[in-house]
Amino acid sequence: MTNPGVLVIFGATGDLARRMLFPSLYFLDADQLLTSGLRIVGAARSDLTDEAFRAEVKTSVEERLGSPVPDATWARFSARLSYCPGDASDPGTYKRLSAMIRGDQERVYYLSTSPSLYIPIVNGLASESLTGAPSRIIVEKPIGRSLETCEAINGAIGKHFDEPRIFRIDHYLGKEAVQNLIALRFANTLFEPLWNRHTIEHVQITVAETLGVGDRYSYYDDFGAIRDMVQNHLLQLLCLIAMEPPSSMNPESVRNEKVKVLRSLRPLRDVDLPVRTVRGQYVRGMSDGQAVASYLEDGSAAESDTETFVALCAHIDNWRWKDVPFYLRTGKRLPHRSSQIVIQFRTVPHSIFGDTHLMANRLTIRLQPEEEISLSLMNKTPTLSQGGYELRPLELNLSLSDAFRSEIRRRIAYERLLLEAINNNSTLFVRRDEAEAAWTWVDRIIEGWTRSGIRPAPYPAGSWGPAGAFALTERNGHTWSE
């Protein structure tokens, strides 16, 4: 007797599984989006029975839901769940797992563990012949902390899974508002003729967080903002904004276009770093009205050269974008949580309105906390004066959250990604060459910082980063849009 499919989650008792993966799977099931025979096996070190594991999952789902789960929905979902205890480096674990899943036709493995376990887990699965097609594997970021380590992980996984069966998660690609970037650009004719260096002056991509590093210090201190956020989330956003129109939503069409953008990023030379990059580290300050500790205090550390803020000025060397600055900025303990992309258009070539200041059009795409698109346009104010026209910029606003409020609740990014991986569609996952091209660009910056002795500048928690971040844009006559 064979089952149609099984999803095995390694790291099933960990933070990500608890906060995101199990609630996402529960919601998918509640919405009847999981195939009826799909089983879910949790694998982790803790010695739990199936019953105890189900009880843990129930608690996580209810925490997310904010209320008890309805009995019938829970009964259906929990019947899918079972548990395989064991250490990732113990061959016995894979023997036990094999006995549980050998009969499943399609196996999807989700590695929600520390990246140091990726290679032992893949080798363990291979030792029990559990990696053959159509088995697939989903891996979480970070895939390495440099090009070299990323290649090593990709190489080790690639020995047992060919590339179409590897799903590298960047959870930003699962966000509704991020997917809407593709719709905005390619389901409308309005923007495409304007989407180039002739009309666009610069682009800003900001992902700002108010939280500090909290209990993730030991992971974070080894990575910093450039590896934790820029190498993946910010560069993926940049790809979606800058890529050429793909010929379809097919995984290879979309990813071919994204990797071309990454390969066209102008390498930042050591001489560019002081003017095109800014590193910061938060010190004591205020966040959401509360006094908060410094980064070093958060980690009880005496010193650290890790940046919690980074701002960069990137260029894409191709016909469409030549010399258009793409400003990227991300940080912890910034004044508010906000992720947005600003497309700043050029000013009119000649004003017929005398001395009246004309503000250039600006398209702002807010990804979170609210999903909104607004376009600023110059308008005439309804006043009479001797001096002719009085003009003012007004916003044309589209609130996606309001437009779809009655139709659907806000989904967790992982719901979409899990569903796509289970359905074997890799459009929203990062291909090996993309991950490696992104590391190539980022590595050069990190190595340059070390060579040039560029250390993070302090910024008070609750501010928009070190002063250098403002100079970065002002140098080109531009200003950040907050």
Q: Which residues bind ligand BG6 (CB under 6 A)?
A: 209, 228
The answer to whether 460 touches 283, Cβ cutoff 8 Å, is yes
- Closer to ligand BG6 by Cβ: residue 130 or 234: 234
User: Which is closer to ligand BG6, CB of 228 or CB of 298?
Assistant: 228
Name the closest residue to ligand BG6 (Cβ).
228
When the beta carbons of 200 and 435 are compared against ligand BG6, the nearer one is: 435
- Dist. CA 306–CA 298, nearest whole Å: 13
Report, in Å, the least distance between residue 48 CB and ligand BG6: 27
Q: Which is nearer to ligand BG6, 38 or 139 (CB)?
A: 139
Residue 228 Cβ, how far from ligand BG6 at the closest point, in Å? Answer: 5
- State how far the Cα of 48 lies from the Cα of 57, in Å rounded to an integer: 12
Q: Closest approach of Cβ 209 to ligand BG6, in Å?
A: 5
Q: Which of 160, 202, 233, 315 is catalytic?
A: 233
Beta carbon of residue 178, minimum distance to ligand BG6 (angstroms, whole number): 10
Phi, psi of 260 (to 5 degrees): -65, -40
CA 290/CA 105 separation, integer angstroms: 53
Report in angstroms how near the CB of residue 282 gets to ligand BG6 at its nearest: 13
Beta carbon nearer to ligand BG6, 221 or 228 = 228
CA distance 180 to 193: 19
Say which residue the tokens 């992309």 belong to: 341
Specify whether the CB–CB gap between 277 and 311 falls below 8 A.
yes
Q: Is 171 a catalytic residue?
A: no
C-beta of 171: minimal distance to ligand BG6 in Å? 6
Cα–Cα distance between 472 and 450 in angstroms, integer?
Answer: 20
CB closer to ligand BG6 out of 209 and 434: 209
Beta-carbon contacts of residue 300 (< 8 Å; ≥ 6 apart): none
> Closer to ligand BG6 at the Cβ: 218 or 381?
218
How far is it, in rounded angstroms, from Cα 147 to Cα 435? Answer: 8
Q: Which amino acid is at 351?
A: S
Active centre residues (catalytic): 233
